[in-house]
Structure 1
Amino acid sequence: MRLWHRIGTTVVGVAALLATTAGTGQAATATPPEGPVQSTFPAALLYSSIHASASPPGANDFACKPAAAHPRPVVLVHGTVENAYDNWAELSPQLKADGYCVFALNFGDTVPGGTNPFKGLGDIPASARQLSAYVDSVLAATGASEVDIVGHSQGGMMPRYYLKNLGGASKVGSLVALAPSNYGTVFYGVLPLVAALPGGEAVTSLACAACVQQRQGSSFLNTLNAGGDTVPGVRYTVITTSYDEVVMPFTNTYLKDPGATNINLQQVCGLDFTDHLGISYDPIAQRLVRNALDPATAKAPTCRYVPPLVS
């Protein structure tokens, strides 16, 4: 769906939007070259436009063995039209410094060769199967019995399919989701319009099946959320922003089951104006992610002005 590309390029010159999905992806045990630490999403996106297969700093050391303090490796799941590097080039090294084994996969790469930085376009169940295989490879390499998952946008929603339908609940301790598309988006009315056009969604799915599946009220999301939007045994944390320009309305990020924790950044700090694209670089959101992964060492975030996009 070319409109998604155009919106992203308008914002930062290249593109990045929703959240993660299927495709060929990288080999789970192959370690791609590591990129530098970045402090803003646009800078990370620019770097990844040239280095599409780069790993976020601190990630994908398959020789890493979890410490007793952090026995569950963290698997980072990027968003639609994003990639592992541009989504996690700042949070990944923070988690590594905290003592976690950190892993981040690229998937949904519809262009052979791994040179396309815009990943996460394919069918969401296929993406979940790829995530399942990747988690298995992380568990096998590290000797851990479970992982924790941190995801952005579709990367915060797609793992729920893995948990619910592919046996992931027994392999995951917690899912921490930044601006996830749990109940989809109307995206300025574009996705409902596409659905209303004869053959609109069929044509759009050829380029971005995940875009169609993330429409508010899509058959995929209705099925995913039927019977409850969480599964027993997994801790769920949603961190969202009122200024989300992709998941619309922003309240569609929230999980409805009573066991889930939903956190609105503006209720934590009224000076936080981060948006959908910049949320993984927001220091307040990053602190909340770290708190959710390790409640025993949780610290209150420092309230400070956070601008949109560059966070």
Structure 2
Amino acid sequence: MRIPPFQWPPLMWLQATALDLAILTGHLLLYPTGFTQERRDADLPADTTKLPTEGRAHPPVLMVHGFVDNRSVFVLLRRSLSRHGWRHLEFINYSPLTCDIPTAAATLGERIEEICARTGHRRVDVIGHSLGGLIARYYVQRLDGDARIRTLVTLGTPHEGTSVVPIASAHPIVRQMRPGSAVMKELRLPAPGCRTRFVSFWSDLDPLMTPVGTARIDHPDLDTENVRVTGVGHLALPVHPAVAAGIRRVLGSERSAAGVDGAVSVA
């Protein structure tokens, strides 16, 4: 049974809030560095892209940031993955003026096609924080992106919509993240044969997910795993080492996890 947020001990809320504020302070310092595009690996020789990719250690990982953010939010996660053997790590920056999830999803698809053509890999893994996870999910379910995305990891993504901060609905893309929006209805449509594995890390102390648990994926046609994270807020999900360890477990595993729920405790 899900525990409503108001039942959590006040001390736990204070600790999670203090951690989020500390992370926000550090992130604001790094934020300007995220506006420029990252340095990409040199292109592979032409004949390399024709070689089969089976057996390579890991497919490329593309990270997609959230609303009014940029790639700087993934600095620590990228470092963690790199230290544990992931070699091809990339980001996509979309404009803070983006007003439409389907349009952003189409742009994401173009970037993934470019990565596959450049690296010779047929599929990629994607990590999306908040809105970034929703954009990637739309690409998978509505734009045939399941042919390209092997595993989609989402961090604090409002899969069922969030009703937090009503005044923010003035922005079109926030309205698309509301429960009952046209985008949310599309994502509830049947998705038979979807080939992407979905893993959602959701926090029971995430103040931007209203109601609590809306960042879980619940769809009968999707191969899903929901990982409950205890003790952190929204901003901590992409940077906390315990969450990073969980992501490494997911991306390093080939097992099907349909309908499985897990937990990560960072307290």
TM-score by length of 1: 0.67
**Aligned residue type for 1:283:** P
Structure 2 residue 122 is matched with structure 1 residue 159: no
Contact residue 236 and residue 261 of structure 1 kept, 8 A: yes
Query: Match of 1:144, SS?
Result: coil
- CA apart distance, 1:163: 0.9
1:103 matched residue in structure 2: 90
2:219 matched residue in structure 1: 257
Distance (Å, rounded) in 1 between the aligned partners of 2:43 and 2:111: 15
Contact residue 243 and residue 264 of structure 2 kept, 8 A: no
Cα distance, 1:304–1:215 mapped onto 2, change above 3 Å: closer
TM-score by length of 2: 0.77
Contact residue 244 and residue 276 of structure 1 kept, 8 A: yes
**Aligned residue type for 1:169:** D
1:7 matched residue in structure 2: none
Distance (Å, rounded) in 1 between the aligned partners of 2:41 and 2:92: 12
Contact residue 284 and residue 301 of structure 1 kept, 8 A: no
1:308 matched residue in structure 2: none
Q: How does 1:112-131 map to 2 (within 5 A)?
A: 121-131=98-108
Distance (Å, rounded) in 1 between the aligned partners of 2:60 and 2:137: 18
**Aligned residue type for 2:91:** A
Distance (Å, rounded) in 2 between the aligned partners of 1:62 and 1:156: 27
2:9 matched residue in structure 1: none
Cα distance, 1:185–1:132 mapped onto 2, change above 3 Å: same
- CA apart distance, 1:222: 1.2
- CA apart distance, 1:231: 5.5
Contact residue 68 and residue 96 of structure 2 kept, 8 A: no
**Kindly, what percent of the aligned residue pairs are identical?**
23
Structure 2 residue 133 is matched with structure 1 residue 146: no
Name the count of aligned residue pairs.
233
- CA apart distance, 1:262: 0.6
2:180 matched residue in structure 1: 217
- Compare 212-221 and 140-149 and name the one that shifted more: 212-221
Query: Match of 1:177, SS?
Result: strand
Can you list the C-alpha shifts for 1:87-112, whole angstroms capped at 9, x where unaligned?
A: 201001222222320010101243xx
- CA apart distance, 1:148: 0.4
Structure 2 residue 257 is matched with structure 1 residue 294: no
Contact residue 203 and residue 232 of structure 2 kept, 8 A: yes
Contact residue 72 and residue 146 of structure 1 kept, 8 A: yes
Distance (Å, rounded) in 1 between the aligned partners of 2:37 and 2:242: 23
Contact residue 156 and residue 178 of structure 1 kept, 8 A: yes
Q: How does 1:38-117 map to 2 (within 5 A)?
A: 40-48=23-31, 50-54=32-36, 60-63=40-43, 68-85=55-72, 87-100=73-86, 101-110=88-97
1:246 matched residue in structure 2: 208
- CA apart distance, 1:42: 2.9
Contact residue 178 and residue 280 of structure 1 kept, 8 A: yes
Unaligned stretches of 5+ residues in structure 1: 1-10, 17-38, 111-120, 195-200, 267-272, 306-311
Distance (Å, rounded) in 2 between the aligned partners of 1:131 and 1:296: 24
Query: Match of 2:214, SS?
Result: helix
**Aligned residue type for 2:183:** F
Query: Match of 2:134, SS?
Result: helix
- CA apart distance, 1:46: 2.0
Cα distance, 1:255–1:302 mapped onto 2, change above 3 Å: closer
